[in-house]
Structure 1
């Protein structure tokens, strides 16, 4: 796993711009703490920061290959889980390899198949290839968008990077956020291609972007398609298990220590159990890690979306599969520390609005990185198998809106209240979401003979797999890579996604519960308590001292009424919030205050121009 950056300019000599290339590359240091490399030619400059996972001595980048027509150079981020098979296929076609890395396989694959190499990859990846003979840059991103990749068109070329910060380090990139960027920030819909910063674009999932003197061209090599599902229940369950076994086996490949993230829920427990069984074949013991908060397990208070604490279930699974387990306990002092929030905002390049969940994830990943370099996560199982409560909510099923937003305010509060009345009017989020939803469902294919109910559930599933999952994957990638930890997501394997997406809703819920297929496919691996446990999202702190720390930070912000953030943030709202005597003990009651503080800190860090 790595960070990449680069610059293509057809009107200037980039060999004279090494200082700017260095600055762009060095913003990716957290993503690649092990090695640094740059390469520059007249019209292309590439930078790379490496987190060494496969072939530690041989995978250095930028990596190049000489051809009769000219040099081809790549900077690559991610993992191709089928690189061993592809290497053998390429060898049979006459290619010779000098390393054991998957990067060289991708490079040689491009030499053999061109941009169509993307069709052959299984994994999470985002990479750039400069083809000197063709005078073109090729940007390729994985099917589910597990790895990020951004670009910024310029008058004579393009800037690109794994994160916006790499692009923003170039003087050609303006630090401007427009209305659409702010709408995305508050809407939680992750519109394909949008990148928050004005003028910047995100390479769409499953897409290739080509930059040449003729301009910028984009085409999609993969999208979620509707197909008929003909397998019966037993065959479907068996196929899910078969896929999971193959996926985990591939994603355990690593030349550095790896572990699993274990919450005690069905998803992470299933991954941990499968990994434990496979590692036991070679005499290894799986390592597992869980997050907890000081005093939370003993003093846990159930709420509408979290019926129980994670830790007892995580411990039971750890005993069941005999993992080497460790709890990472987050204390209130670190959790509320503005410096920690600053690390998270710097990782995200925007005030993303996930509050204490983001900061606790960062602290969890930072501690895990002391022990492991690779972690396997249960992320995205809810999107694939239909695990969220709202999948079965009649109100959601009938609503012409993004399903997670129908009852969002009931669970998480309305954080748009932090905005000034003028800003709220300018953003007009209601109209934006209505139009965005119409565009999102327009391209979904209906299966012939599909009932109205199955069709509604298909649309809900599709929206989760193309929009909502992107919100969560982006959070996971940024917070983990900010600590130099690679987090792999087996449930995002495109083979599994395609298969389960096309399974009828009646099969996905054949036992009358959520995630029936996953539960049945792993029933022999897990304790009954976990198999029967109700869905619970990632935990949030219930420590009242955390809420009090937020209030104190807000009071300090109010003492500076001339702060530019108050052009967007309502001073009167914040003043009322701080004077409110009711405790801010729940996620819903804290969310808006966390959002306000994130906005102010982000403003201090990035000095943006906001154009409404």
Structure 2
């Protein structure tokens, strides 16, 4: 894992711009604390902050291949899980390697196959190649967008970075947010390509950008395919298990301490069990596992339909079952309201979020995990693929023309959430028209869904809902994992995002996916022998949230301070009278989880506008 940045300008010589490239790159020091370097020459400059995971001495970047016609320079962040096979193939084709790193495999793959090399990669990655032989920049992002990559195109120049902050460090770029950007920031739609700041875009997953004297264009190199599924149930179950075992076996390879996030749910428990087996086959050290719990959580816990059971009892059962070395990271109200933690989480994301303390607590958890290991496997992407969320199984969401998680957020107790414009000033509500924005994004997503001729209506609809989850909601989940993990210099690996597995499961008919009448039927069947019955049969539970009243009280105190402050930048966006009524009646609407997140969003917006000197252009 690394952070990359760069600037390409075909109208000027950037050789002397090392200081600027270093300033851009160093904004991402937490993404790469182990090493930093920049390369400049001719019309290009590239920088890398490195978190060393594989071939610690050999993967130095930017990596340069010299040639008589000009150098080819790579700035790469990621992991290739098939780099051993690719290396062997490249050696057979005549390439000679000077390192054991997957970085050099990426560079030599580009030299051999050009930008189509990405189609051969099994991994999580985002990288830039400056090919001085033809004065062309290529940016490439992995199929699911596990690693972020942002860019800005202006005339004959491209400025890019793993995070928006790297681009904002360029003197020609200002942190301006217009109506479209504010709509994206305040909703949960996660539109591919949108990055909130005016002019800055996020390279969509499975996409490459090519910029040369002929212009700048985007090319989609991968998308979810629609195929007929012909395997019977037993074959389907065994195939899922086979792919899962292979991908976890690949992803436990590292030259640094490796661990697993373990929540005691089906997904993380499956990955942890497979990782434990893989390490034992290699006769390596026992597996490190990590979970999060909140102080006094048991005292205040109440099932809410999303989280009906606490994690910790199931976590401990898995620890006993596998014999892992486990750490429970405890989080209290003081951790969630700590200015240091909140600023670190906000800086890692570059944006506020409607999901509030879910980000801060994951940052605190990631920081605790980083004390024990440098890379950790997670169970993310299983729910989106196998149908784990409630909206897959509720007829209301099948019948509603809206992204299901957006619809679910509006059905939560507490109607006046900020992402439905409840705490915004009335004139701003009207200008943003967030409901129409959400509906338009739904229509765009629906038009993208691949079609399989002759598919039954139910299978067609479930394919659509699965597609929405894999191309939109999963982006929220993966971005949260990456940003909060890298805020603590922790690499997160996502075995369920192996494209072979996703392509296979995406095309399984819905009746087979739910053959025993439960969510994630196929995953339970494929991994039943790995888990204790209680964990195998546990009902889906979401990531835990703080329920201690002390946290809500501290949050209200923070919002009250914002309302009193004459220089608070967010006040002009708010319905201050309504917000004050929330504070005056803590047992009323503000007590609902969704509306508590609205107050959290007020605080984040204020911190964000101050920290990034945001100009709101309405």
Which bin holds the TM-score, normalised by the shorter protein? Answer: over 0.9
**Offset at 1:412?**
6.8
Following the alignment from structure 1 to structure 2, what is the Cα–Cα distance between the partners of residues 587 and 403? 19
Structure 1 residue 519 and structure 2 residue 501: aligned? no
**Offset at 1:391?**
0.4
**Offset at 1:18?**
2.1
In the alignment, what sits opposite 2:277?
277
CA contact (8 A) 1:297 1:311 kept: no
In the alignment, what sits opposite 1:11?
11
**Offset at 1:213?**
2.0
In the alignment, what sits opposite 2:388?
387
CA contact (8 A) 1:40 1:46 kept: yes
In the alignment, what sits opposite 2:357?
356
Q: 1:593 aligns with which of 584, 599, 614?
A: 599
**Alignment partner of 1:14: what SS?**
coil
Q: 1:483 aligns with which of 461, 465, 488?
A: 488
Following the alignment from structure 1 to structure 2, what is the Cα–Cα distance between the partners of residues 298 and 55? 47
Q: Which string of whole-angstrom CA distances, capped at 9 and with x for unpartnered residues, describes residues 129-163 of structure 1?
A: 00001101100000011000000112221100000
CA contact (8 A) 1:125 1:147 kept: yes
Which stretch shifts more, 115-124 or 176-185? 176-185
After superposition, residues 197-212 of structure 1 pair within 5 angstroms as 197-212=197-212
Following the alignment from structure 1 to structure 2, what is the Cα–Cα distance between the partners of residues 564 and 308? 40
Structure 1 residue 447 and structure 2 residue 452: aligned? yes
**Alignment partner of 1:241: what SS?**
helix
Q: Which string of whole-angstrom CA distances, capped at 9 and with x for unpartnered residues, describes residues 91-147 of structure 1?
A: 000000000000000000000000011010000000000000110110000001100
Which stretch shifts more, 31-40 or 17-26? 17-26
In the alignment, what sits opposite 1:561?
566
Following the alignment from structure 2 to structure 1, what is the Cα–Cα distance between the partners of residues 534 and 305? 20
In the alignment, what sits opposite 1:438?
443
CA contact (8 A) 1:150 1:163 kept: yes
Following the alignment from structure 2 to structure 1, what is the Cα–Cα distance between the partners of residues 458 and 137? 45
CA contact (8 A) 2:22 2:37 kept: no
What is the RMSD computed on CA atoms of the aligned residues?
1.2
**Offset at 1:279?**
0.9
Q: Aligned pair count? A: 612
In the alignment, what sits opposite 1:237?
237
TM-score of the aligned structures, taking structure 1 as reference length = 0.98
Following the alignment from structure 1 to structure 2, what is the Cα–Cα distance between the partners of residues 562 and 369? 37
**Offset at 1:419?**
1.3
In the alignment, what sits opposite 1:463?
468
In the alignment, what sits opposite 1:315?
316
Following the alignment from structure 1 to structure 2, what is the Cα–Cα distance between the partners of residues 63 and 478? 25
**Alignment partner of 1:223: what SS?**
coil
**Alignment partner of 1:297: what SS?**
helix
Which stretch shifts more, 361-370 or 586-595? 586-595
In the alignment, what sits opposite 1:169?
169
Following the alignment from structure 2 to structure 1, what is the Cα–Cα distance between the partners of residues 490 and 350? 18
In the alignment, what sits opposite 2:37?
37
What are structure 1's unaligned runs of at least 5 residues? none
Q: Which string of whole-angstrom CA distances, capped at 9 and with x for unpartnered residues, describes residues 308-343 of structure 1?
A: 100000100111111111111112211222331111
**Alignment partner of 1:76: what SS?**
strand
TM-score of the aligned structures, taking structure 2 as reference length = 0.97
After superposition, residues 474-513 of structure 1 pair within 5 angstroms as 474-513=479-518
CA contact (8 A) 2:224 2:450 kept: no
**Offset at 1:16?**
2.4
CA contact (8 A) 1:540 1:587 kept: no
Structure 1 residue 365 and structure 2 residue 370: aligned? no
Distance 1:139 1:426, change over 3 A: same
**Offset at 1:562?**
4.1
In the alignment, what sits opposite 2:261?
261
After superposition, residues 145-184 of structure 1 pair within 5 angstroms as 145-184=145-184
**Offset at 1:165?**
0.2
Following the alignment from structure 2 to structure 1, what is the Cα–Cα distance between the partners of residues 151 and 413? 32
Which stretch shifts more, 393-402 or 282-291? 282-291
Following the alignment from structure 2 to structure 1, what is the Cα–Cα distance between the partners of residues 300 and 157? 57
Following the alignment from structure 1 to structure 2, what is the Cα–Cα distance between the partners of residues 482 and 26? 13
CA contact (8 A) 1:177 1:609 kept: yes
Following the alignment from structure 2 to structure 1, what is the Cα–Cα distance between the partners of residues 438 and 564? 35
Following the alignment from structure 2 to structure 1, what is the Cα–Cα distance between the partners of residues 346 and 586? 28
CA contact (8 A) 1:137 1:211 kept: yes
**Alignment partner of 2:298: what SS?**
coil
Structure 1 residue 424 and structure 2 residue 429: aligned? yes
Which stretch shifts more, 302-311 or 28-37? 302-311
In the alignment, what sits opposite 1:396?
397
